[in-house]
Every structure is written in structure tokens, then in C-alpha cells.
Amino acid sequence: MFTKILIANRGEIACRVILTARKMGIKTVAVYSDADKDARHVALADEAVNIGPAPSRDSYLQAEKIIAACKQTGAQAVHPGYGFLSENAGFAKRVEEEGITFIGPKHYSIAAMGDKIESKKLASASGVNCIPGVNDAIETAEKAVEIAKGIGYPVMIKASAGGGGKGLRVAFNDKEAREGFTSCRNEARNSFGDDRVFIEKFVEEPRHIEIQLIGDSHGNVIYLNERECSIQRRHQKVIEEAPSPFITEATRKAMGEQAVLLAKAVKYQSAGTVEFVVGKDQSFYFLEMNTRLQVEHPVTECITGLDLVELMIRVAAGEKLPLTQAEVKRDGWAIECRINAEDPFRSFLPSTGRLVRFQPPRETMFAADTEHLFGVRVDTGVQDGGEIPMYYDSMIAKLIVHGKDRLDAIGKMREALNSFVIRGVSSNIPFQAALLAHPKFVAGDFNTGFIAENYAQGFRAEDVPHNDSDFLVALAAYVNRRLLGRAAGISGQLPGHGVTVSEEFVVVGLGAVGNNTTHPVLVRDFEAESGSSSVETGGKRYEICSRWHLGGARIRGTVNGQPFAAQVERGVGRNPLALRLNHNGTRLDALVLSPRAAQLHALMPYKAPPDMSRFVLSPMPGLLVEVAVQVGQKVQAGERVAVIEAMKMENVLFAVADGVVGKILAARGESLSVDQPIVEFA
């Protein structure tokens, strides 16, 4: 067994590998870029080596620097995590040539299966069902359009070295095929250093189901059940679960056995995943093989009770697999939500900056721990006060729950999301909560088009139905009463001028529940010591009890005897007196006023925000990589104006109306903030 390994990665996966290595008594070496010098994985490792500037092409994609770090520290093996160099056959070969063990498959397996074009050819030759398409690299946008027409729209344009939704576009017409080809090549070149692109038929209404494999150097390969990964947004997974609520036992067995045959054909060693597109009739087609550990591996760990990182390390050290196919368990139901730094209310644009507050829910399961299951686990590479840089992908954390069945897991996940506090950057937690509450998701009735179909106009706070919106109103009044109670108890107040608190309030909804809707509320039997109160609104009565710390972002307690968790903020939007409450994905912005103050508030004039329609604004923080217009140029609606790059994704800004360019307000290469003007129309 190794005594020291180097993790050639960053973020949560680097932390995840370190925890298993620590459990096994193996010393760890972290590598880091200039942007990650204070990152969590650097603090967790026994040693750390700086490998260059912030952009990944200058640091985490520099194979020679990583090999030099191994030699410098005496690391005997490299774990590549996922992304970066994890599926780079050349890197795996170089590592092996230097006498260092690559904790992953052999380079020839990566070359055969990690490359999406070559793996398609090999799978087809092996008699595996493949989706119609052209598996050779395409050189020009014109050729891409020609091929797309031949296959028939819609088509999927994919980077050969792609992954994680990078370098992938779906095109429904010639224009989208041409633009998608160009964007795919650019993203692939920047993210993976390989700009080869191919095209295949896009199967509509598909399920995305994958089989987890593990193989050893003694010729043994077993499959560890499947993962359901159909809940995707723009081809990037959002929620994963194991097992799938869709496939039958017979389909599971057939997919597993086919995946094993494919792996044995390339003498596969280590953890890997064979991905399939599954039709309504349970027919399945080979999609690709990921020759690495997957982001969503924790859900498989939960239902099998296995530590996949430990198995990878043991296999790399030459050990045999410790179990047979017949011994693989499938116990309970696990769900993983990817918590990303993106704003769901602004078209999911990336959100970078400092984590002012990072308070995950209470964990009862832990990475690298196979003893404590049926609980809540958080895998993350960040911490309170940490930075979310713009150079890497947007993942903040992975939230994993394990329940006795699917409904139990959904309930645990909704409760955990309610307790997950992130401030300073926006996160997709409200969107995750909305997905989990959707009747079709709960019923298991979905495919990869679920998000596009149900949130076609984007995601808005008011789109999330709450099963009891009066509870949010009651909770706002309760929180306000607690704050007033403290104000009334402050000593030294002038006689006759102290804070007095009545039982009557009016909650004025400013946001999701309805603009300026009013809700009369009675707050009775308030007890400061116990934190209990009786709140009446909308003809309902809520007995609320909580030990909430005033000013805390998370409020836990009971309502009518049932436990609840919600989040509360003061001073949101343009009103310092407003409260913001979040519960089950629903957000309420509200003022809690006395009846007289509510009457006066209704008379206040509305102050309209300034008209910014003449400007093209940056919708997110990012790097301005292109300004496609010039001063004096006539621009038509839908024409390309600028391109912003953030978190390894290109975002193209288009003109929303015809006009003439008056001023260029930002230069190429400039780092932009949210809503910073780029172009002004005359």
C-alpha cells in the first residue's frame, strides 16, 4: 500500500480523496493554483505545492508541474479526481513512465473508452447499440451543418474530451448548429486542451441512466447498480439518485452485464461509469464511458455501503476486489443535489465572490465513512469566508441523503435544503427545493427534458407553490414579534416613550406571495423564555416554538408540534426593514407593520427603478472575452454583442432590440461585475 499520494485536483473532490487517504493512514499532497492558496483542500492535506497561476490551463492542466510535485514530495501515486487531467490518456501514460502509480484505469483503457469518438467505434464493433451519428472529428462549422442535416435535427454537438456539460450543445436548426459547433470547440479547447467535436442524433424524451463499475488488475469487473441522472439543466446533472425509479430488475441486470463486457474488452481497472440513454420501453443505448470517479459517486456509496475512493486506491495498489457481483448490496434510497454558485432567478448565471456565510445542515453521514448511513452528508471544498473564484466550475457542495425508500429520501433532502445557509453568493438551493416538491418528480415521472419543459420561461420565486403559504406569513409575524420583544426589553428607555408591542400586525408581501398583498395577523401568548407563540392568520392557527438566535440566518423549531426549518434575513432588497423568509423553495419578502403603519404604507408612491434599456449589462461576474460591435454600428435584435466567460462556460450576450451603438463602456480582457454596463446604444 502507498504511504503518500498526490491529488491532482481541487475543491470538494480533492477533499473527498484526502478523507479516505487519511482513514487508510496514507499521507496526502495537495496541489493548488494562486487562486486556491487558502482553499480547504490545501488546509486538509499533509503537504501542498503551488503549481501556477489561477487559470486551469496554467495550473491544474499542467501535467509536467504535477509530476514534478510528485517527485518533489515523494508521492508514489496520483489520484486525478474528476475533470482536469482525469481522462487524459497522455497524462496517465506519463505518470506511469515516471514510475508513479495512476489511481485510475490504465492509459490504454482511457484512450479506448475515455475518448467519446473512439469509445463509440469500439462499442459499435462490440455489438453494443449506439445512437445514430458521425463519430469522426468535424473540422468546420459548414461541415457540422451538412452532417446535422444528414442525420436530421435535433442533433447533439459534443466535444470528444468533454464532460460535466462543457463542450456540449443541442441544435434544432442550421444557425444553432453553426454557433453550437464554434462554442463547443472554444469551450473544449479552454477546458480540456482538445477541440475535437462530433455530432450525433439527439434522442428526445430520454432517460440518462448510468452503471457504476469497479475492476481490478486480476481481470475482475463488477457493477455496483445504477444511478438515475435524468434531472439535468443544459445537459448538466442537477439531481442524481440511486437506484432509478424507472428501470426494471431485468433492465438493471442487462445494462450491468453489458457494461461489464465493455469494460473487460478494454481490460478496465479502477472505478468507471458506463452511461446509457434509456427509452420509454426500457430499450437502452450506449452513450459514453467515463474512465474516472463520477461527481455523483456518493449515492452509490450510500446504497452499497462501499467507499469507492478506497476501492480505487486498493485496486491501484494491486489488490483484488474484496467482493463478488453476488455480494453487491442495494440498501435504501439515496439522492444527491449539486449545490452550485449560480443565481436561479437570473437564468442560472454564475455567481462568484466571498462566502459571507456557509452553514451546511447537520451531518450524520460522512465521506469515507461506510458505518454511518441513512442520514445527511455534505461533500464540499469550501468553508465560511472562502472565495468562489471565476476560473473553475460553479459547484459549492454536494448534498447527499440516504433514506429507507424514495419518499423518505425526498423528505430528508427537502429538510436538509431548508437548513443549508449560503450568503455572499447566490446558490441554486431554491431551485433544488422546487424540483423536489414537483409532483412529477415525486412520482418518478420525468426524463432529461424535465427542467426545460417545466421551467421553459426560467425560474421565478413566484413559480414555486408552497403547500401552506399562510405559514410563511405567520412565521414572518413570529420573527418580527421576537425582534420587537428584544427591543421592548432594552433598559434605559424614556418613560412613556418605550417600545410597546400589541398583538395585531399586518404582513405586507413584497415578493413571491404577491406584490403588496396584505395579511392581518394576530400574535398571542408570546413567551420570550420558551420562544413560543400562537399566531393566527388566514383563518388558521399556528403554534410556533423556536429557540432561534436573533440575527441567525437559520430558524428551527416546531409548528403545531411538527418540526420545521427555514431561513430568515433582515434588510433585503431596497428596504432595510423588510424580512426575507425561505422555506421549501418558496421565498417571501415582507414588511411586518402595525395596522396604522400598513394603512400609511399603502399610500406611499411607487419609485420606479432607473431605465437601463439602452444598455447591454453584464448579467454576472466574469471576464469580457469579446466585444462584437463598434461605435456607430447598426445592430439588429438577436445580433451578437459581447461574450463573457465565467466558470469555464462561454455566455453570449445578444441585442434585445434594434439600435445604433453609442459607446463601448468596457474593454476586452476586463473583469466585470454584475450589471456593469458594456455597451450603450444611442
Mean pLDDT per 10-residue interval, the chain, length 682 residues? 97 97 98 95 97 94 97 97 94 96 96 79 79 82 92 89 78 94 89 87 86 97 98 93 96 94 93 92 89 97 98 98 97 97 88 91 96 97 90 92 98 96 93 93 94 88 76 95 86 82 90 70 88 94 94 93 93 82 88 93 82 88 91 92 83 90 93 91 90
Rounded CA-CA distance 143/542 in Å is 65
Residue-level pLDDT at 50: 97
User: CB-hemisphere CA count at 13 Å for 544?
Assistant: 34
Region label for 182, one of left (φ > 0), alpha (ψ between -120 and 50) or beta (otherwise): alpha
Candidates 3.20.20.140, 1.25.40.10, 3.90.1150.10, 3.30.1490.20; CATH matching 132-201: 3.30.1490.20
Distance set, CA 162 to CA 14, 167, 235 (Å): 20, 5, 12
Using alpha carbons, select from 414, 405, 443 the residue that is nearest to residue 303.
Answer: 405
> If you ran DSSP here, which 8-state letter would residue 346 be given?
G
Fold of 4-103: Rossmann fold (3.40.50)
Side chain identity at residue 130, one-letter code: C
> What is d(CA 187, CA 208) in angstroms, rounded to the nearest whole number?
23
pLDDT at 511 (0 to 100): 59
Under 8 Å between Cβ of 311 and 271: yes
Q: Where are the domains of the chain?
A: 4-103, 132-201, 207-454, 469-489+501-602, 615-681
Residue 401: name the closest of 413, 418, 411, 414 by CA: 413
Concerning whether 288 is annotated as a catalytic residue, the answer is: yes
Identify the H or E element spanning 297. Answer: helix 297-304
pLDDT at residue 586 in the model: 86
Hey, what's the cell of 263?
A: 469494460
pLDDT recorded at residue 347: 85
Phi and psi at residue 599, to the nearest 5°: -65, -45
CA nearest neighbour of 411 among 493, 327, 467, 352: 467
Q: What is the rounded CA–CA span in Å between residue 442 and residue 625?
A: 42
CB 361 within 8 A of CB 267: no
| Annotated catalytic residue, options 241, 288, 336, 650 | 288
Please tell us whether the domain made up of 615-681 is placed in CATH 3.40.50.2000.
no
Spatial contact of 555 and 533, defined as CB atoms under 8 Å apart: no
Q: Provide the pLDDT for residue 231.
A: 97
**Domain 207-454 superfamily per CATH:** ATP-grasp fold, B domain (3.30.470.20)
- Can you read off the three cell numbers belonging to residue 425? 453568493
Q: Which residues pair with 337 in a beta bridge?
A: 239, 399
Structurally, at CATH architecture level, domain 469-489+501-602 sits in 2-Layer Sandwich (3.30)
Predicted pLDDT at 469: 84
